[in-house]
Amino acid sequence: PNAKAGQNLRYATWDPPQHEWIKFGVDRWIKSIGKVTEGRVNVRKLAKGLGAPPAYHDFIKKGAIDVAHIIPAYTPGRLELHKVAEFPFLAASAKARTVAYWRVYEKHFKKVNEAKGMKLLNVGVHGGGLIHNTKRPITKMSDLKGMKLRVSGDNVAGMAKGMGATPIFASILKVHNMLSKGVADGVFLTFEGVKNFKLGKLVKYTTVPPGGLYATVFQMYMNQKVWDGISDKDQKLIESVSGEYGAQFLGAAWELADKNGIKHMKEMGIKITPMPAPFVAKAKAIWEPLQAIWMAKAKEKGVDGEAALAMMKAEIAKVEAGQ
Amino acid sequence: MIDALIIFSVLLILLFLRLPVGFAMASVGTLGFYYYTSWQGTLAMIGQIAFYTPMSAEFAVIPLFVLMGNFISRAGLADELYAAAYAWIGHKRGGLAMATILSCGGFSAVCGSSVATAATMAKVAMPQMRKFNYQDSLATGAIAAGGTFGILIPPSVVLVIYGIMTSTDIGELFMAGVVPGIIGIISYVIVIAIITHFKRDIGPPGERASWLSRFRALRNVWGVLLLFIIVIGGIYVGFFTPSEAAGVGACAAFFFALGRGTLTWKTFFELLSDSVQTTAMLFFILMGALIFSNCINETGMPETLLEWVKGFNAHPIAVVFAIMLVYIILGAVLDSMAMLLLTIPLFFDPVVNGLNLDPVWFGIIVVVVTEISLITPPVGMNIFVINTVLPDVNTGTIFRGVTPFWIMDIIRLIILVFFPAITLFLPRMMG
Amino acid sequence: MNDYTTLARLREYFSRALIFFASLILFVLMWLTVIDVFFRDAFNISITGLFEVTEVLMGILVFAGVPIITAKDGHVAVTLLDSFINPRLRLIQKFIVSIICALLLSLFAWVLWDAAETLSGYNEVTLFARIPLAPVCYFMAIMTALSIPIQLSMTFITDERLQELKSDEI
Ligand code: NA
Ligand code: NA
């Protein structure tokens, strides 16, 4: 009794429905599928998620859900290539990162078929990650000494360690509790995160590294069998509102989220300061060896990492210039 | 909607066929999910739920609080609580039953489970009440009702599960349980005073203790007080998170039991093994509930309910009362944990997102109806557990004895629904 | 006859070993939490990856408990209609319940094994402590599989004996 491919597809996520990325990004995509295929393909969003976020990779691959997004960082060891869009000091703009990443994917990663059994439809990258804290303004690296900072991935954990802070890994939903209890002094997070996870009353100081200290990639996949069951005509139509086109508005949704986040932070009186140049230079030095690790992994997968990174930077510049 | 009702009916039939709760929910959930998706997808869904559900650092709070309660029972702190309450009010008419209620409340402050509280207090309080010729119905009724505080007064395993399932702050939920718990204690004491006023012979007064021995008895409850301050106070001032508090509490309780010389290697392993079994049992139900709720999710019932609540234009309180009625009916026939896990995914969204009601407040309301379910016939876990500890008192007698407390519970529930501030002012003052 | 007693003894040893192991895990879990709090508050040291150790221990703890509760008939059931059922019917009911439970345990064992194969295929590890996840998942699958024969053996045990088993001490 499969919901026959090409008719009604099911989408599910653990993300809250009111988040900009869902409300103005994913929901818009879902609506556009029905519209562009004139109702031949419809995506239905389930009221609730199916399980733990890391489980979604297998949910899609094995067909528990037809289409959904995953966060590759939640299942370390499975996917590597996406990390090029998560590098520090690349772009503050979510839209620039998202669109550039999709272009890099098309050119360099698509042929490798890293996630077998799944069809990549869309990507999303959130805006550049910042350092928020409840204690003091961070203007030089030594200010971070001994601070307990919540991190979300291994690269940013490596950065935190290198800068003298103590990384704590925890679900984003726990951050409010951790900050209010002093279990953590700060958090690596976006502008939007402060608003969406209700941290505005807790965070006092925010340091903004140029181009962000990290980012997190979201990838929306469809189960391959389900995809193959859709007619060629409808596949083309779906692709016409996904990929590059999707990246434009999915990135814009993240961008809007950040805009709302900045507004909220200003209202809350949070002190937002750019990361001073000497600090940036030191942080970049810490990043170098971590970047080399990725280059090696990309090579293992048969990808020219240097070329991909160069293209990423070039495309970001193009998007920021309005192309 | 029809689909969902059929699925619920099948589940109820399986439950009454005595299929264990977790297995019943898992099997109905599996078949239902298969009906809406594919066999391969269903297998993947079950596999991921089974693997990731227990792999949660947050859930570590459950075995640790269970362990803490077990160590405390072993340390004999329940006896001292009872002795202290007895010394103060035992000489009043119905005083031993009142002492039972007070010590149940005290024990609940260090034990996260209602069934464990009822079982422990049955062993401690029953012999005393028998000695003074208390009628079995009043004696066991007080224990059964008082035992329900285990899940309302923090720490509480039920509040932990509610908190994790709905992403509500567990610390706030714990604080919110305090005042309704105290109101519960007072209301039960009033119930006993009223009953024994009219039926003077069912709860004769006990011995009067001298003022000196009263204060001496009070001195012995410092163990419970210290643990409560460490665990709940620690959460309140933000010294640690609930799971850390559970670990520290278990550790402190371990040293209490050790310090009192009540731990042998044999009992030590018994307590640990007992806690492991309780944990495995709870998680099996939890996994079953998640699989079942994934199947209900496919039916579209949650959306329908949400739409219905939004379109109904009823006063939010009316909707809440309708939900409470469902809870009381379900709670009569279902195990409390099963009821909770079945209904939270269904009702939480409509109530909290549809009606914009406070999730912490709703959590406490849900726990209070769960308390009620524990003493509602025909399936009242607290009654069964007392029947296991005291096989010579039949369940009919216990149910009869618990009835006045049950009525008081309903009144307390109505008050808590109408005055959310009672529940919410303490957590609002926190952090 | 001799074979039977050997088997019974083996089962006894196994269940003791498993209970001992699971108990130890819980005790370790308790100390880990305490040590974590202590280091954080006393020395401002946060042990990276401890969080993941806790998660893995929880997974092991819960599934080590599954054969134990199966052997003790420790699953919660609604016993509402028990008093209305005659002994003969009760036997049939018990048989059906046992078969459904065994089937479901088999299903769980199977899907967990499959999940373990997947994890092993990716060499998936936890983010910081780098604990490989596949062995944990294999352990869960094996514990569930071990519970299947235990569950089936429960079919022919009388209700009285079941009651004893529940209150049995180790
Ligand atoms: Na409690
Ligand atoms: Na009940």
**Per-residue pLDDT at B243:** 85
Q: What is the pLDDT at residue B395?
A: 83
Farthest-apart Cα atoms in chain B, separation? 73
Interchain contact, C46 vs A153, CB within 8 Å: no
CA dist B303 and B289 (Å) reads 19
Mean pLDDT, residues B134-161 taken together: 94
Residue A180 to residue A199: CA distance in whole angstroms: 9
Percentage of chain C exceeding pLDDT 70? 85
Q: Quick check: B335 pLDDT over 80? A: no
Q: Residue B240: list chain C partners with CB under 8 A.
A: 37
pLDDT in tens, B229-284: 988 888 888 788 888 899 999 999 999 899 888 889 999 999 999 999 989 988 99
| Residue C80 confidence (pLDDT) | 64
B179 Cα: distance to centroid of ligand 1 (angstroms)? 13
Percent of chain B with pLDDT over 70: 100
| Mean pLDDT (whole number) for C71-83 | 75
What one-letter code names the amino acid at B269?
F
Among chain C residues, the shortest Cα distance to B65 is held by: C30
Among the residue ranges B16-20, B146-150, B368-372, C156-160, the one predicted with the least confidence is: C156-160
Give the pair of three-digit tokens for residue B87.
């010394």
Residues in chain B: 431
Tell me which chains share at least 3 CB pairs under 8 Å with chain A. Answer: B, C
What is the side-by-side order of every strand in the sheet holding A8-11? A42-45, A8-11, A67-70, A217-223, A118-125
Q: How many other CB atoms sit within 10 Å of the CB of residue B13?
A: 12
Q: What are the pLDDT digits (tens) for B380-407?
A: 888 888 888 888 888 888 999 999 999 9
CA gap A132, A142 in Å, rounded: 16
β-sheet bridge partners, residue A271:
A205
The token duo for A26 is 């994913």
- What residue numbers bound the domain in which C161 lies? 3-167
Closest residue on chain B to C103 (Cα): B27
Please write the tens of the pLDDT for every residue from C10-69.
878 888 899 999 999 999 999 999 998 888 777 766 677 788 899 999 999 999 999 999
* Predicted confidence (pLDDT) at residue B33 exceeds the cutoff of 80: yes
Q: Which of B54, B250, B266 sits opposite C30 (nearest CB)?
A: B250
Lookup: tokens for B227: 């643990």
Collect all residues of chain C within an 8 Å Cβ-Cβ radius of residue B63: 26, 29, 58, 61
- Flag whether residue C42 sits within 8 Å of chain A, measured between CB atoms: no
Task: State the CB neighbour count (10 A cutoff) for residue B138.
Answer: 25
Q: What is the pLDDT of residues B336-353, one digit of tens each?
A: 888 888 888 788 888 887
Token readout for B119 is: 């079982």
What local confidence, expressed as pLDDT, does residue A93 receive? Answer: 95
For residue B172, give every residue at least 6 positions away whose Cβ sits within 8 Å of its Cβ, in sequence order, or none.
B360, B427, B430
pTM listed for this prediction: 0.90
- Report whether pLDDT(C7) > 80: no
More confident residue, B216 or C83: B216
Binary contact (A52, B35; C-beta < 8 A): no
3-state helix, strand, coil in chain A (%, to 5): 50, 15, 35
Q: Name the pLDDT band for C167 (thresholds 50, 70, 90).
A: low
Which single residue is written with the structure tokens 């227990």? B54
What is the Å distance from ligand 1's center to B129 Cα? 24
Are A105 and A120 within 8 A, CB to CB?
yes
Q: Which helix (H) or strand (E) holds A10?
A: strand A8-11
Number of structural domains (chain C) is: 1
Q: Which ligand is nearest to the CA of B372?
A: 2
What average pLDDT score do residues B162-179 get? 90
Rounded to the nearest angstrom, the distance between the alpha carbon of B272 and the centre of ligand 1 is: 19
In 3D, which of B44, B86, B24 has the Cα closest to residue B339? Answer: B24
pLDDT value, residue B352 = 84
Q: Quick check: helix, strand or coil at residue A219? A: strand
Query: What's the confidence (pLDDT) of residue B4?
Result: 86
Q: Count CB neighbours of A145 within 10 A.
A: 11
Contact A169 C44 (CB under 8 A): no
| Whether B12 contacts chain C with CB within 8 A | no
Q: Which of B54, B275, B281 sits opposite C76 (nearest CB)?
A: B281
- At B41 the pLDDT is 94
In this prediction, the residues of chain A whose per-residue pLDDT falls under 70 are: 1-6
**Identity of the residue numbered A154:** D
What does the alpha-carbon distance between residue B102 and residue B182 come to, in Å, rounded to a whole number? 10
B145 vs A176: which has the higher pLDDT: B145
Best residue in A62, A83, A116, A169 for a mutation probing chain C (most C CBs within 10 Å): A169
Residues of B in contact with A229 (CB under 8 A): none
- Over residues B357-366, the mean pLDDT reads 94
Phi, psi dihedrals of residue C168, rounded to the nearest 5°: -55, 140
- Cis link prior to B391 (omega < 30° from 0)? no
**Short-list C58, A194, A173, CA closest to B169:** A173
Q: How far apart are CA B15 and CA C78, in angstroms?
A: 6
Task: State the smallest CA–CA distance between residue B398 and chain C in angstroms.
Answer: 16
Q: Which two tokens stand for residue C27?
A: 């005790």
Helix (H, G, I), strand (E, B) or coil at A205: strand
For chain B, the residues whose C-beta falls within 8 A of a C-beta of chain A are 34-38, 40-45, 47-49, 51-53, 55-56, 58, 167, 169, 171, 238-241, 290, 293-294, 297-298, 300, 302-303, 306, 345, 349, 431
Return phi, psi of residue A287, to 5°: -70, -35
List CB contacts (< 8 A) between A170 and chain C: 51
pLDDT at B144: 95
Q: State chain C's mean pLDDT as an integer.
A: 85
Residue B309, pLDDT score: 78
- Looking at residue C170, what is its pLDDT? 39
